[in-house]
Amino acid sequence: MKHIFFPVLALFISGVINAQQKDLDFYLEQAKINSPLINRSRNDNKILELDLKQIRSIISKPQVNLDVNILFAPIISRDNNSNRVELVSSGANNYIGYDLAATDGGQYQALVTINQPLFTSSKYKNYSSKADISRQSNENKIALTIHETEQIVGYQYILCLKSKIQIENNLSLIKIVEEQLMTLKKLVENAIYKQTDFMLLQIEYQNYISENEALTSEYKKNIYDLNLICGINDTTSVELKEVNFVLKAGTPENSGFITSYKLDSLTVIAEQKIIEQKYKPQLSLFANAGLNAVYSPSLNRLGLSTGIVLSWNIFDGNQREIAREKSSVNLRTIEFDKKYFVTQNDISRNNILNQIGSLSQRITLSEEQINKYDKLLNVYNKEFEQGEITVMDYKNLLRDIASKKSENLLLKMEKQLLINSYNYWNY
């Protein structure tokens, strides 16, 4: 009967030997590398630096422009009973065209203009402060994304381990049934058991084989899902290493979740400061040089001019007060959301801890029952070899053991999932 079991065992052993061993840290690292959210946040920080440089150039560096303007306003002069076109009139009395006072004969401009804002350090400081807050916000987003990735990858990794352990438990039962089939064959030959008993155990053996195929398929699917989450394009066999999550102590005052609310509030305050800047006096120096002439351009019309421009918003329909009220409402909303999150977080963590405590007790009881089943199985094996129990009783015991081990596995995996969830919220 060795030929019945060996192909299944050999296939499993071959798969384990050829499989690449990988642990949770490998998948977490790949998920971080391939995460588009983390990549986007890092690029956003680079864009912030470029935006700040651009703003500094706009508000503090001089702007130099070249303005060229040539205007012709021809007329049809009818003086002296004649009709003639004059590009630049020297003073017609009877004519068709724009009023000479409006056109002034034409215009010729070619000016280099410089505009230099003055006293912009406070304005730049406000923009720089907002950029710094945005940078911290992006860094916190990266930290939260990594933390969320750890929770998601950890969850899927546990599902993969559950499938793997289920396969191992099933194979151990296959091995037991295989060994008993060889024993049973001899007992049938000695007329201790019937041929129908042998056939019944064979059917049970085939059921375990079928279950193993289903469990193997589920394991592969879970591995594919894990690769999908981590952005790994790989179809090779994988042997996952065991992992054991433990409860982590949290520091609520340094929570990344709470930090995000604080940074949101600081962003609103920084944006309001930038709005307030619009209502302060704006002073700039201007100068131009070049050609500025009417009638006809000539060298004696080359010159320059300079001056100071003062701009001060006195009234704009109470927009300043409206902006302040909007900022105040946004701050109150953020504070309300933060308090709500803290309350929900406390409830969730306490609920998870309560479930973990209950599961720990159930796991202890389940393991005690499994130990008793193992002892009972040893007794059954001896009695089975002596022909003192029925095959049906032996088969039912194996099913009970399989069910109890499956229950114990599910309890342990559920506890691991809860610990993983608790560590996510306790951050």
Give the per-residue pLDDT at 17. Answer: 44
Both tokens of residue 305? Answer: 């001019």
DSSP string, 29-69: HHHHHH-HHHHHHHHHHHHHHHHHHHHHHHHHS-EEEEEEE
Structural fold of domain 2-63+119-282+315-425: Outer membrane efflux proteins (OEP) (1.20.1600)
C-alpha 181/C-alpha 177 separation (Å) is: 6
Amino acid at 156: Q
Question: What is the four-CA torsion angle of 32, 146, 268, 338, rounded to 10 degrees?
Answer: 160
Question: What SS3 class is residue 381?
Answer: helix
Both tokens of residue 277? Answer: 């800047």
C-alpha 219/C-alpha 166 separation (Å) is: 9
Give the per-residue pLDDT at 104. Answer: 67
Q: Smallest Cα–Cα separation from 404: which of 163, 173, 203, 216?
A: 173
Longest dimension (CA), the chain: 147
C-alpha 280/C-alpha 312 separation (Å) is: 6
Residue 418 and residue 360 in contact, taking contact as beta carbons nearer than 8 Å: no
In the chain, what is the straight-line distance between the N-terminal and C-terminal CA atoms, in Å? 56
Q: Which is it for the CA torsion 342, 343, 344, 347, positive or negative?
A: positive
Q: Smallest Cα–Cα separation from 184: which of 172, 207, 170, 202?
A: 202
Residue 97 and residue 76 in contact, taking contact as beta carbons nearer than 8 Å: yes
Host H or E run for residue 195: helix 195-230
Query: Distance between alpha carbon 109 and the CA centroid of its chain, in Å?
Result: 56
Residue 140 and residue 259 in contact, taking contact as beta carbons nearer than 8 Å: yes
DSSP string, 126-159: HHHHHHHHHHHHHHHHHHHHHHHHHHHHHHHHHH
Q: What is the pTM for the complete model shown?
A: 0.82
Question: Phi then psi for 306, rounded to 5 degrees?
Answer: -150, 160
C-alpha 423/C-alpha 24 separation (Å) is: 16
Q: Smallest Cα–Cα separation from 414: which of 347, 368, 352?
A: 352
Give the per-residue pLDDT at 1. Answer: 43
pLDDT along the chain (427 residues), means of 10: 48 56 93 93 92 89 90 82 78 81 75 90 90 94 94 95 92 90 89 89 92 93 94 87 87 81 95 91 91 75 88 88 95 96 93 95 95 93 87 91 92 95 92
Give the per-residue pLDDT at 365. Answer: 95
Question: What SS3 class is residue 236?
Answer: coil
